[in-house]
């Protein structure tokens, strides 16, 4: 277990121990789309005392690692792609329609008194449309290619020239999704609930907070584990040709 936190990027720290994402969520440090930044620079950017973050990381690292903290760097590309589809994609397919319905109701009921409800409904509608398309492209274009590279003994035909091309598109869409989450988080002051709102508003805030954390974890697994390893696999097969 690495202890030189300052010399590591946020993504490296979470890849090494996934539970560290809880610390970064608490301090609002971006370990998915912005995970390439080293810890001290990330803290300085957000005006956070790096000593506080290091203390929280050290305390977490002093606890036993749970069975859920799978080291996905040791899994096959196929196994990791399957895991992402069966967990994170499945979660999105269930939650996106549910949250869309709640956001529409909350906008109608509370939009006049709480303009953040209007912003959330608009931002979420665009996010849902983008994620629906994003999941289709991953499941029908990118992930099948990743599985082909994993199973191949020689470089297979790649209709998009290189796996880096669809990966680049997915990374751009990840960035867009992260920006949408940040907008909703800011508009609702961290998914807080005013005293004069209904239970649906409260349920919506809880669902958005859960969605944000799962999507951060989802994006991290793709950007910093699956995608780099898929590109490396393509390079290895090309070199062996």
List pLDDT tens digits, range 118-142. Answer: 999 999 999 999 999 999 999 999 9
- What is the mean predicted confidence (pLDDT) over 82-97? 97
pLDDT grade for 67, boundaries at 50, 70 and 90: low
Are 190 and 102 in contact, with CB atoms under 8 Å apart?
no
Mean pLDDT over all residues of the chain?
94
What are 38's strand-pairing partners? 9
Are 80 and 226 in contact, with CB atoms under 8 Å apart?
yes
**Residue 203, Cβ density class (10 Å: 0-12 exposed, 13-18 middle, ≥19 buried):** middle
Is the pLDDT assigned to residue 230 strictly greater than 80? yes
Is the pLDDT assigned to residue 202 strictly greater than 90? yes
* DSSP type of residue 71: -
The residue with tokens 């590109």 is 231
Q: Which helix (H) or strand (E) holds 183?
A: helix 164-187
- The three-state secondary structure class of 157 is coil
Is the pLDDT assigned to residue 2 strictly greater than 50? no
**pLDDT attached to residue 65:** 76
Is the pLDDT assigned to residue 34 strictly greater than 60? yes
3-state SS record for 34-66: CCCCEHHHHHHHCCCCHHHHHHHHHHHHCCCCC
* Structure confidence by residue, pLDDT tens digits, 10-29: 999 999 999 999 999 999 99
Share above pLDDT 90 across residues of the chain, in percent, rounded to a whole number: 90
Are 25 and 46 in contact, with CB atoms under 8 Å apart?
no
* Structure confidence by residue, pLDDT tens digits, 146-189: 999 999 999 998 988 999 999 999 999 999 999 999 999 999 99
The domain ranges of the chain are 5-61, 76-240
pLDDT grade for 69, boundaries at 50, 70 and 90: confident
Q: Which letter, b or e, does each residue of 141-171 get, where b requires 16 or more Cβ atoms within 10 Å of its Cβ?
A: ebbebbbbbbeeeebeeeeeeebeebbeebb
pLDDT grade for 1, boundaries at 50, 70 and 90: very low
pLDDT grade for 68, boundaries at 50, 70 and 90: low
pLDDT grade for 240, boundaries at 50, 70 and 90: confident
Tell me how far apart the alpha carbons of residues 38 and 139 are, in angstroms, rounded to a whole number.
32
- What is the mean predicted confidence (pLDDT) over 89-99? 97
* DSSP type of residue 68: T
């Amino acid at each position: 277990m690495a202890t030189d936190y300052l010399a590591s990027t946020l993504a490296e720290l979470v890849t090494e121990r996934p539970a560290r994402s809880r610390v970064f969520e608490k301090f609002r440090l971006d370990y998915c789309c912005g995970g390439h930044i080293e810890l001290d620079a990330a803290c300085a950017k957000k005006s956070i005392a790096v000593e506080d973050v290091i203390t929280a990381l050290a305390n977490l690292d002093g606890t036993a690692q749970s069975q859920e903290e799978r080291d996905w760097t040791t899994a096959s590309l196929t196994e990791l792609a399957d895991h992402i589809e069966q967990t994170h994609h499945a979660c999105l397919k269930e939650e996106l329609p549910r949250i869309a319905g709640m956001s529409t109701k909350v906008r109608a009921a509370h939009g006049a008194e709480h303009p953040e409800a209007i912003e959330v409904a608009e931002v979420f509608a665009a996010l849902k449309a983008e994620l629906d398309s994003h999941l289709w492209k991953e499941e029908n274009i990118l992930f099948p290619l990743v599985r082909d590279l994993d199973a191949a003994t020689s470089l297979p035909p790649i209709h998009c020239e290189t796996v880096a091309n669809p990966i680049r598109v997915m990374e751009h869409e990840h960035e867009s999704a992260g920006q949408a989450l940040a907008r909703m988080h800011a508009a609702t002051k961290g998914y807080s609930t005013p005293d004069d709102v209904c239970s649906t508003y409260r349920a919506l805030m809880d669902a958005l907070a859960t969605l944000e954390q799962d999507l951060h974890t989802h994006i991290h697994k793709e950007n910093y584990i699956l995608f780099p390893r898929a590109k490396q696999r393509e390079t290895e097969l090309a070199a062996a040709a």
